[in-house]
Amino acid sequence: MTLPVLLNLAAALLLLAFLYSQQRRHATFTVRVFTALGLGVVFGAALQALHGADSAIIKTTGEYLDILGTGYVKLLQMIVMPLIMVSIVAAILKLRDAKSLGKISALTIGTLMATTAVAAAIGILMAKLFGLSAAGLTSSAAEVARGAYLEGRLADAQAISLPNMILSFIPANPFLDMTGGRKTSTIAVVIFAVFVGIAAIGIADKKPELFVSFDHAVKVAHAIVMRIVTLVLRLTPYGIFALMAQVVATSSYADILDLIGFVAASYCALLLMFCVHLAIVAGAGLNPLRFAKKILPVLTFAFTSRSSAGAIPMNVQTQVQRLGTPEGIANFSASFGATIGQNGCAGIYPAMLAVMIAPTVGIDPFTVSFLLPLLAVVTIGSVGVAGVGGGATFAALIVLSSMNLPVALAGLLISIEPLIDMGRTALNVSGAITAGTLTSRVMGETDVAIFERKDDDDYEADADTDVDIESKTTPA
């Protein structure tokens, strides 16, 4: 290890020590998250200014920062499947109503799909307003290689059909899905957990002593899993610092400037769609500004980690303990939202890309004959998009191939992909939370007292507080 790397790591340790001091002084979770975000940006920019984005020093420094950044994401991924399994079974045991379960599923999935269609329309509008077109863009070696990779993945995308995608949700081997071995493992675990919960309810009258024992075991497992979630979430500021520092240190500012139009259009579309989420929340009778404030920490993590699936634990915690959404609904929306109807990755991005690429093959993208099929393909293709970094690529392949557009041209955006993907992932998570919030209000299950509470800035205090999701419910 060279002296510059040692100095970089020493500086990083000092900044981490400052974050720890904030925790010891009981600074609010929101303050610590945004402090970590700012420190990560400054530290990453300083690294690039001193050494250059492609420097071996930055690469080595990044490998050590990766222990903290990627390590934190892996810890979150570690608890995703246990959290989904235990929480949904526990919620069904409390619910004991199959009809309510069906309504929750229909409302959640319907909201996710509908908002994805709206997101696609917004993406098309922004592409029109910014005059985006792939015609005339030059290709570097990296972009050509990326284009070749996309063409290699084309066969996988073309092999996907809606019936096959639905079949992939069925957990033929739930133990395999517990490992996250398939793209649709999250939904498969949800379905398996639903079967377990319904089966347990079925023996409540016939074998009450066994049901009581199982119910107690689930409560014990749930308490342990939630405690693990609390412990992991306390590491959030440190993980965000490391993730953000790496992104800024390795970003090519020149490439970003070359494609600044697409970046600006993308973030305008993302912000506009976020406003749509706030409008939905307002329409449900809740304060949209308070909603935005309460979900900022989880959106910040999603922004830096670029992982919708990794954000599931914090997503559930935020909905239950800050927004007053029952745990069952929160788990459904967070789990389905990581795979179905991602507003950013599966809505805005492929729609903008299709409109941008269409002129290169002589197609006018702003005709009804092009736009209506595009909206339909984007909405249906949003089913089953993986909730990890890169899921937008697969969504784009599905849309571009379905619209008979050249997929290789998508490689032209490789240099700015991470920058845009951060915003897309944050919007994905916002969409999932919005779906859960709306479903909870329609079902009359939202604990408005929790939503209106102003003393919940300390996330750790929330995480250590047991929330009775059956109390103080207020009809929508």
Provide the CA 210 distance to its chain's centre, in angstroms: 38
Q: Would you place residue 79 in the very low, low, confident or very high pLDDT band (cuts 50, 70, 90)?
A: confident
The mean per-residue pLDDT over the stretch 115-142 comes to 81
Q: Sign of the C-alpha dihedral, residues 53, 59, 65, 71?
A: positive
Looking at the predicted structure, is the pLDDT value of residue 220 above 90? yes
Q: Would you place residue 411 in the very low, low, confident or very high pLDDT band (cuts 50, 70, 90)?
A: low
Provide the CA 20 distance to its chain's centre, in angstroms: 26
Looking at the predicted structure, is the pLDDT value of residue 71 above 50? yes
Distance (Å, whole) CA 250 – CA 62? 9
Looking at the predicted structure, is the pLDDT value of residue 348 above 90? yes
State residue 98's pLDDT score: 60
State residue 318's pLDDT score: 93
Strand partners, 340: 383
Looking at the predicted structure, is the pLDDT value of residue 363 above 70? yes
Looking at the predicted structure, is the pLDDT value of residue 452 above 80? yes
Q: Write the pLDDT tens digit of every residue in 153-191.
A: 556 555 556 677 778 788 889 888 888 777 778 788 888
Looking at the predicted structure, is the pLDDT value of residue 149 above 80? no
Q: Which residue has the tokens 């340790």?
A: 13
Phi-psi region of 111 (alpha: psi -120 to 50; beta: other; left: phi over 0): alpha
State residue 213's pLDDT score: 93
Phi-psi region of 384 (alpha: psi -120 to 50; beta: other; left: phi over 0): left
Q: Amino acid letter at 385?
A: V
Maximum distance among all Cα pairs of the chain, rounded to whole angstroms: 72
How high is the mean pLDDT of the chain? Answer: 83
Give the closest residue to 405 by CA, choosing from 428, 368, 423, 378. 378
The structural domains of the chain, with segments of one domain joined by +, span 3-463
Looking at the predicted structure, is the pLDDT value of residue 476 above 50? no
Contact indicator for 304, 247 with CB cutoff of 8 Å = yes
Q: Would you place residue 388 in the very low, low, confident or very high pLDDT band (cuts 50, 70, 90)?
A: very low
Looking at the predicted structure, is the pLDDT value of residue 467 above 60? no
Q: Would you place residue 138 in the very low, low, confident or very high pLDDT band (cuts 50, 70, 90)?
A: low
Distance (Å, whole) CA 56 – CA 475? 59
State residue 251's pLDDT score: 76
Q: Write the pLDDT tens digit of every residue in 246-270.
A: 888 887 776 666 678 888 999 999 9
Looking at the predicted structure, is the pLDDT value of residue 438 above 50? yes
Looking at the predicted structure, is the pLDDT value of residue 143 above 90? no
Percent of the chain with pLDDT over 90: 34
Q: Would you place residue 276 in the very low, low, confident or very high pLDDT band (cuts 50, 70, 90)?
A: very high
State residue 420's pLDDT score: 87
- For the domain spanning 3-463, the CATH number is 1.10.3860.10
Distance (Å, whole) CA 374 – CA 457? 42
CA distances from 185 to 165, 415, 449 (A): 12, 30, 35
Q: Which helix (H) or strand (E) holds 14?
A: helix 3-24
Distance (Å, whole) CA 144 – CA 142? 5
Looking at the predicted structure, is the pLDDT value of residue 96 above 90? no
Q: Sign of the C-alpha dihedral, residues 284, 285, 287, 291?
A: negative
Structure token digits, residue 321? 């303990």
Structure token digits, residue 432? 């999932």
